[in-house]
Amino acid sequence: MPWLRASALAATAGLLVAAALAARSIARDLQTPRALHGAPHATSSACRRCHADHDASWRRTFHRTMTQDARAPGALLGDFDGTSLTYLGVEATMDRGPDGAPRMTLRDASGALLRRATIERTVGSRRYQQYLARDADVLFRLPIAWSVEEARFFSLNGAFLGADPAEPPPDATGIPAGYDRHVTRWNDNCIFCHNVSPNPGLDAARGTFASEVAELGVACEACHGPGEAHAAANASPLRRYALHASDVADPTIVNPARLDASRSAELCGRCHGQRITPRLEDFLAHGDPFVPGDVLARYSEPLAADTALHGEAGVFAERFWSDGTARLTAYEFQGYRASPCRADARFTCETCHAMHDGDPRGQLRPDAAGDGACTQCHAALAIPARAAAHARHPAASAGARCVACHMPRVVYGLVDAHRSHRIESPDPSAQARDRRPDACTLCHVDEGRAWAVSAAARLFGTTARDAAPNAAAGSAPDTRLDAELPEAARLLAGGDPIERALAAAAHGRPGDSPTRGDARARRLARLLRALDEERFPAVRRVVARSAARLAPPQPPARSAATTRSRPRTRAAQRSRGCAPRSRPGAVRSPPTRPPRPRAGGPMHPAVTS
């Protein structure tokens, strides 16, 4: 059958020509840069079709659940089964409406209805979950949140650093001043870091918002850039296999692993490093123009101690120790930038962290666990004996871990102490001068600064420098007596709120002598005293947690609910007033809208208030 042979040859030739043309076209396409600014997004459901493994690993993370529709399956962590919380004389009841929608109802002591809000979205899911309700075009954060760790509702006054509100008369809504202290607007605050491609859509002339995000939560395109063109282009199997077979970067998408270390870190620093922009009006009207791979400084600068706001310097100074180290979380990027490890051009966030791997809590790379992150470069310290000799601490002890000394827990946030991301060499003498907690006394909580300075000199040969406080710290100098006092105890009793929280957290960690009864009793006594005197509810929570770690509660004689509802200390009474349930009243309007942001302001609300 000659015709069959001829047809087969023709078909084969045709296929070869078509394949050659396709290969040429694909090669050209892969060499053509794409503008990702303003490009449409595909959302994670489109990404999942090809990147099932990455989708699965992302779904494990708290990035995914950063912002969720409250009605999405599994989104709501709190018990919306009629649970109530009374605080400052207002009883908040969390239940569901007739349509099943979660809602939060506030009543005064007489039972009069003050506010009822239907919860539309949730924010957060790791430590606590906050709730958003709508008022026309505005989503506002409700004053009660859910603590994941404690499995209970609490006032956001207990999440941010602020003193207990005095108990002045209620405002026009019938809600006591201070109750709504942290009721803020989502549209121009949380939206920026907790979603993909945020656009507040502020119409400044009319004072209205048309807020949009490409996807709720921190999804694929937050780090990889807009993906619709990528998904469309790679519908072609030939293009996909050309990419599989080569090491060519696909210009339709950003792969952070291919970015240089600075661009890669800036991608994270966009949210993990609070920023300020001179183009706030643009940000509020049209959204953050940053696209992964951009130079962050094109649009904004990380906040620093000397950053001015509207020409006023020092506004943000309280957020930093006097040596420039951040005191608060969400300043990790600033710590990264100040780390000497940056001398290695490869050093970036992903040196230690992995977005698709490891424990979702912290998202450390599995091979960076223990001291693995550091021994990638400091290879000699991978040998335990050398690491112990370097640390001058027993090899198996917590003090021998690299992070114990080089990333001390001098950062406060989310009602806990966190490791500084400014990787540094411990120098208690310099840190005494800078009036900054040091790694030594945050672990050896029964020791003073003088001990730390002499121990560092003895163990590491550091020079005891002039320990006079840095003038920039602006506080009274340490006296000799102060230097002899246990530093953590001194901070717990007389530090500022952040110092008190850090010291309280340090008291609850195993530290240097966890099993000695007398040391434990001393620490517990300090904590109990602090618990009674502390005026900041967030610090009280840290103190209470540490006390519970030192003296774990005995099994309750009564039901847990009964026990929990009884305030046991003056401090607890202050934060857990009781009010009788009674008749419902008229529905009041939602809280007054928070004030408009000012141009040039910080892009996030202050963590301290």
Partner 1 sequence: MSTPIAVESPTSPRAAARRFGWASLLVWSTAGVLLEAAHGWKLAAVLDDELTRLLLRLGHAHGAALALVVLAFGEAGALLFADPLGARRAGGLLRVAATLVPLGFALSAIAHPEGDPGFAIVLVPPGALCLLAGLALVTRAAHRR
Positions in the binding site for partner 1 (CB under 8 A) = 1, 4, 49-54, 237, 240-241, 244-245
338 vs 383: CA distance, rounded Å? 28
User: Which of the 8 DSSP states describes residue 255?
Assistant: -
DSSP single-letter state for residue 101: -
Question: Which residue lies nearer to partner 1 by CB, 356 or 545?
Answer: 356
Structural contact between residues 578 and 90, judged by C-beta atoms closer than 8 angstroms:
no
| Closest to partner 1 by CB, 27 or 210 | 27
Rounded to whole angstroms, the Cα distance separating 270 from 137 reads 26
- The encoded tokens of residue 131 equal 């709730």
What is the closest distance, in whole angstroms, from the C-beta atom of residue 50 to partner 1 in the complex?
4
Closer to partner 1 at the Cβ: 4 or 343? 4
473: nearest Cα among 260, 252, 300, 322: 322
Shortest Cβ 26–partner 1 spacing (Å)? 15
Shortest reach from residue 293's CB to partner 1, in Å: 21
Identify which of residues 1 and 561 has a Cβ nearer to partner 1 in the complex: 1
* CA 414/CA 128 separation, integer angstroms: 8
Work out whether the CA dihedral 56, 57, 58, 60 comes out positive or negative. positive
Alpha helices, DSSP H, located in 270-306: 280-286
Q: Nearer Cβ to partner 1, position 9 or 50?
A: 50
Q: How many Å apart are CA 181 and CA 157, to the nearest integer?
A: 7
Kindly state the smallest distance separating residue 47's Cβ from partner 1, in Å. Answer: 10
Helix H or strand E segment including 402: helix 402-406
- Per-residue b or e along 438-476, where b marks 16 or more CB atoms closer than 10 Å to that residue's CB: bbbbbbbbbbbbbbbbebbeeebebeeeebebbebbeee
- Name the residue nearer to partner 1 (CB basis): 60 or 240: 240
- For partner 1, the closer of residues 241 and 471 by Cβ is 241
Q: Are 353 and 265 in contact (CB under 8 A)?
A: no
Q: Which is nearer to partner 1, 96 or 240 (CB)?
A: 240
Counting beta carbons within 10 angstroms of the beta carbon of residue 98, is it exposed (0 to 12), middle (13 to 18) or buried (19 or more)?
Answer: exposed
- Burial (CB < 10 A; 0-12, 13-18, 19+), residue 257, is exposed
- Helical (H) or strand (E) element with 115: strand 113-123
For partner 1, the closer of residues 53 and 518 by Cβ is 53
Smallest separation (angstroms) from partner 1 to the CB of 241: 7
To partner 1, the closest distance from the beta carbon of 240 in angstroms equals: 6
Cβ 27 to partner 1, closest distance in Å? 18
In angstroms, give the least distance from the CB of 65 to partner 1.
Answer: 23
Nearer to partner 1 by C-beta: 54 or 401? 54
Nearest Cα to 44, choosing from 193, 232, 215, 267? 215
Q: Which is nearer to partner 1, 53 or 81 (CB)?
A: 53
* Beta carbon of residue 53, minimum distance to partner 1 (angstroms, whole number): 5
Q: Which of 414, 439, 423, 368 is nearest to 545 (CA)?
A: 414
- At position 168, the amino acid (one-letter code) is P
Q: How far is the CB of 249 from partner 1 (least distance, A)?
A: 15
CA 244, 248, 254: angle at the middle one, nearest 5? 95
- Least distance (Å) between residue 222 CB and partner 1: 19
